[in-house]
Structure 1
Amino acid sequence: MKGISIKVGTKVSLILNEPGKSKEEYYSKIIDMKENYIILDNPVHKATRKTIYFPVGTSFNLSFVGDDQAVYEFSTKIAARLKLKFPALAVPMPKLEDLHRIQRREFVRVDAIVDVAVHRKDKYNRAFTTVTSDISGGGLSLILPKKESLEMDEVVDIWLSLGFISGTYHYIHTSAKVVFIQSKDGIRSASVKFESIKTQEQQLIVSYCFEKQREMRKKEYS
């Protein structure tokens, strides 16, 4: 399966596909490979970051980034729960014809600390600086300082400073809409979706995310 590369260490996204339930997204990682099964770490909820335990038979759409940087997806079910050194689950190995290549490169999200300035468009034109907790070509999550706040659906201007391994820096300016706010362990964060970002600047963010992803993969295998 050239370019697809299902292998140990690959990070995957799981979207719940159960009748009558919301299609919530979870993260996991391939921790082992068997002849007919993929062994996954227990999924972590994208928004709450909590580990979730699903019963055998739960249906998901599983996606991952191949070596060609395209996103591949297939439908699957939990075939078994395993007790290794830590709890894990098994899903059937997909056939080549079951894999679908999807155009979602901008949604590859990585954990990354990036300097960001936020300018609010209210009558006071308030602004603050902070850092991101994760980023993708479609948006980012930022840490809210103690004395600052944002509102759901609020549109803000943001400036990003992206530092690449080559030593070069690129500065991105775009508007973004607040789509999610949460508080965990005393830390408040806001997720924003880019509203009017230039294609060239979005591709810079995508390249930055892929570079960070490669760094993480190297650390996992070192």
Structure 2
Amino acid sequence: MYPKVNDVLFIQLPSEGEKEANYEYRSRIAETDEDDIYMEVPIREGSGHLKKLHMGDELSVYFLTEGGVKHYFNTYVTGFKEDVIRMVKFRKPSAEEIFQVQRRNFLRVQSKLELAVKFKHDFTRFLTYTDDVGGGGISFVGYSKHEVKEGQILSCWLLLPYKNGELEHVPFEGIVVRSITLESGRQKAMLEFTQISDMERQKIIKYCFERQLDFRGR
């Protein structure tokens, strides 16, 4: 599903540094054609400041459809157009590059990813690996010497490797919703995200989407 004229877009700029990447901007689609989408100059949420964009700027975008479903895609600025209003042109994604996520039904994939974990109550730290990841949470397997209990809040950093070779570090906090002891004596903990920015969640969703495409291709 493509965004349509007058649809509102929510935009972040991951290529402009950590501080700038945390800002979210809002825009509206003014025109579309076969290869490009034209939007109004984005406005920063909460401040009303216009965002000056440049050729090649990377954009992480989502728009909403009925039921609150978020549709995500990544793109970049390809030009500008002066009409009644100034418009920013960006590459129209292919249908396969747009992935939808409903907050209560995030895609989840099996994946062994490096995870750094810190207990908030005593600052214990350890490294482990995930069992699966998704836009709503993760699960990981740890050692009994670092006992994880249900209801515990953990601060984590997840390492995401993308198909293009890029690596992303995703910080978040999560609550342990379930913890079980495996036959091996190790613990498996299921975490639900309690604090994660939309941009960081989008990085995880992008990774899951790439993994899903890999599974389909096998």
For Structure 1 versus Structure 2, the TM-score category normalised by the shorter chain is: 0.5 to 0.7
Aligned to 1:109: 108
| Structure 2 residues without counterparts, runs of 5 or longer | 3-94
Q: For the structure 1 residues 125 and 170, does the alpha-carbon distance in structure 2 shift closer, same or farther, using more than 3 Å as the test?
A: same
Aligned to 1:163: 161
Looking at structure 2, the residues matched to 150 and 184 of structure 1 have their Cα atoms a distance apart, in angstroms, of 13
Aligned to 1:199: 198
Shift of 1:155: 0.4
Runs ≥4 in structure 1, deviation > 4 angstroms? Answer: none
**Contact map agreement 2:155 2:171 (CA 8 A) in 1:** yes
Shift of 1:138: 0.7
Aligned to 2:170: 172
**Contact map agreement 2:103 2:136 (CA 8 A) in 1:** no
| Structure 1 residues without counterparts, runs of 5 or longer | 4-65, 72-102
Looking at structure 1, the residues matched to 183 and 99 of structure 2 have their Cα atoms a distance apart, in angstroms, of 34
Shift of 1:146: 3.7
Aligned to 1:130: 128
Q: For the structure 1 residues 165 and 106, does the alpha-carbon distance in structure 2 shift closer, same or farther, using more than 3 Å as the test?
A: farther
Shift of 1:183: 2.5
What RMSD in Å do the two structures reach over aligned CA positions? Answer: 2.3
Aligned to 1:185: 183
When the two structures are aligned, how many residues end up with a matched partner?
A: 124
Question: 2:212 is paired with a residue of what secondary structure?
Answer: helix
Looking at structure 2, the residues matched to 105 and 171 of structure 1 have their Cα atoms a distance apart, in angstroms, of 24
Question: Percent identity of the aligned residues?
Answer: 30
Looking at structure 2, the residues matched to 198 and 191 of structure 1 have their Cα atoms a distance apart, in angstroms, of 20
Q: TM-score, with normalisation over the residues of structure 2? A: 0.52
**Contact map agreement 2:131 2:139 (CA 8 A) in 1:** yes
Is 1:149 the counterpart of 2:147? The answer is yes
**Contact map agreement 1:106 1:206 (CA 8 A) in 2:** no
Q: For the structure 1 residues 105 and 162, does the alpha-carbon distance in structure 2 shift closer, same or farther, using more than 3 Å as the test?
A: farther
